[in-house]
Amino acid sequence: MIGAGPHGLAAAALLRRSGAPTVILERSDRVGATWAQRYDHLSLHTTPGASKLPGLPVPRRAGPWVSRDDYVRYLERYVAHHRLDVRVTTPVQRIERADPGSGAHWLVHTPDGPVPAGAVVVATGRCHTPNLPQWPGRSTFTGTLLHSAHYRSPARYRGQHVLVVGAGNSGTEIASVLAGAGAKRIRIAVRTPPNILPRSSARWHAVGRMTEVLPLAWRDRTSLLTQRFAVSDLTSRGLPRPRTGLYTRNIREGVNPVLDHGFVDAVRSGRVEPVAAVQAFEGPDVLLADGTRLRPDTVIAATGYRPNLHGLVGALGVLDEAGQPLAVGAQTHPEASRLYFAGYTNPLTGVLRQAGIEARAIAHALRRETARAPLPAPRVGDRGASDR
């Protein structure tokens, strides 16, 4: 198992329950590191019931919108509850096929040497590496440019003119928090108008599950009508209503709708100003697609992440042109049996709920495989090990 985030922990718990010897290799020094490193005011966009992993509920005291820190504590408790073997500070450099007759399918290379394994689950996740676009002139920018992965709290931006790039959940949430925390001026660069839903409608994940069998066009029309009635029209403020339904956008781009954390009110009141997409940088200026020039103190790029799997498995022929796994969940590539990928989709039914679904499917598939040929126990050195 590679990665001690929700998908890796869920898969390890169910594999261990089925009797498969399982070790989790984690590059950082803690469980749930990706969550722990996000901004301070982050909270889940799914309810506790849709955020739990198999075999352990999220504590009620975490409330209806679980905070970043509470969810990290939940993941740590999950490791202890299931007695998972997590080897921290053990980065995986690459995975390659083992020699025939060695008794293993795969060799997992770490700084301490190769680890033979009968099966591997790659769970390093969609949000592994920040994606900062190569805007023309980016290196000439004399202000501060950072990815949202490195943004922590609004305090340091008081009195500043900040441009947030990207109108997804992170970008809209950061912009609205900055607007209420003393920033001088907040603009948000928007390429495609987002689908926005009230935060109270987070149970749209359940709606997504119930309507999966319905025609896509019907679901899209319904989602656009819901937004029209539930969310203020911000066209006059520079943010027109979306023309594409949230279901089609999820299929085409893998994005989910924005759950409103005060963003709509911030735009309506003028505290956050939507502007055109960023085109280029030129010294202190940011050039927008409509020809406008801005001179912000700070640019925060909420421009998403990439899985960055090429170094890990790029030589195995299991990735598409975009670097995404060709097979996910219980499915494996025809040339890579017993190599699974968990956590590389972004379903409208909820990413954390999907962690449990994929974990169960992988455990079931591996049980079928090992009924034909038992798994050897992975042999990993003791450096950085923790049996919690």
**Is the same domain home to 379 and 272?**
no
CA distances from 134 to 138, 149, 279 (A): 7, 17, 10
Instruction: Give residue 376's pLDDT.
Output: 65
Number of neighbours of residue 334 by Cβ within 10 angstroms: 9
Instruction: Give residue 183's pLDDT.
Output: 95
**Is the same domain home to 166 and 224?**
yes
**Is the same domain home to 281 and 378?**
no
Instruction: Give helix 351-372 / helix 6-17 axis angle, nearest 10°.
Output: 40
Instruction: Give residue 179's pLDDT.
Output: 94
Instruction: Give residue 375's pLDDT.
Output: 63
pLDDT at 209 > cutoff 70 = no
Instruction: Give residue 64's pLDDT.
Output: 87
Domain membership flag for residue 55: yes
**Is the same domain home to 203 and 292?**
yes
Distance CA(357)–CA(313), nearest Å, equals 24
Domain membership flag for residue 1: no
**Is the same domain home to 117 and 143?**
no
**Is the same domain home to 85 and 12?**
yes
**Is the same domain home to 216 and 71?**
no
Using pLDDT thresholds of 50, 70 and 90, give the confidence band for residue 67.
very high
Mean pLDDT of 54-70: 94
Domain membership flag for residue 172: yes
Mean pLDDT of 286-309: 97
Q: What is the mean pLDDT of the chain?
A: 91
Domain membership flag for residue 337: yes
Domain membership flag for residue 327: yes
Judged by average pLDDT, the poorest of 137-146, 268-277, 345-354, 378-387 is 378-387
Domain membership flag for residue 218: yes
Using pLDDT thresholds of 50, 70 and 90, give the confidence band for residue 211.
low
**Is the same domain home to 122 and 136?**
no
The helix (run of H) or strand (run of E) holding residue 230 is helix 216-230
Mean pLDDT of 109-138: 95
Domain membership flag for residue 50: yes
Mean pLDDT of 119-138: 96
Q: How far apart are the first and last CA of the chain?
A: 16
Mean pLDDT of 78-85: 98
**Span 219-239, pLDDT tens digits:** 888 888 888 888 999 999 999
Instruction: Give residue 208's pLDDT.
Output: 56
**Span 373-385, pLDDT tens digits:** 666 667 676 444 4
pLDDT at 248 > cutoff 90 = yes
Distance CA(304)–CA(168), nearest Å, equals 9
| pTM assigned to the model | 0.90
**Cα 381–373–342 angle (5° rounding)?**
60
Domain membership flag for residue 348: yes
* Pairing of β 113-117 and β 106-110: antiparallel
**Is the same domain home to 121 and 251?**
no
CB 106 within 8 A of CB 98: yes
**Span 255-284, pLDDT tens digits:** 999 999 899 999 999 999 999 999 999 999
Q: 358 CB contacts (<8 Å, ≥6 apart)?
A: 7, 10, 11, 328, 329, 330, 342, 343
pLDDT higher at 89 or 47: 89
**Is the same domain home to 50 and 120?**
yes
**Count: domains in the chain:** 2
Mean pLDDT of 331-360: 94
Instruction: Using the 3D structure, point to which of 301, 328, 351 is the last residue of a domain.
Output: 301
Instruction: Give residue 229's pLDDT.
Output: 86
**Domain range for 67:** 6-128+307-387
**Is the same domain home to 264 and 162?**
yes
Judged by average pLDDT, the poorest of 6-20, 99-113, 171-185, 203-217 is 203-217
Using pLDDT thresholds of 50, 70 and 90, give the confidence band for residue 386.
very low
Using pLDDT thresholds of 50, 70 and 90, give the confidence band for residue 366.
very high
Q: What percent of the chain has pLDDT over 90?
A: 77
CB 202 within 8 A of CB 230: no
Sole residue written with tokens 């990207």: 166
CATH number of the domain enclosing 198: 3.50.50.60
Instruction: Using the 3D structure, point to which of 301, 333, 354 is the last residue of a domain.
Output: 301
Instruction: Using the 3D structure, point to which of 301, 323, 348 is the last residue of a domain.
Output: 301
**Is the same domain home to 226 and 142?**
yes
Q: What percent of the chain has pLDDT over 70?
A: 92
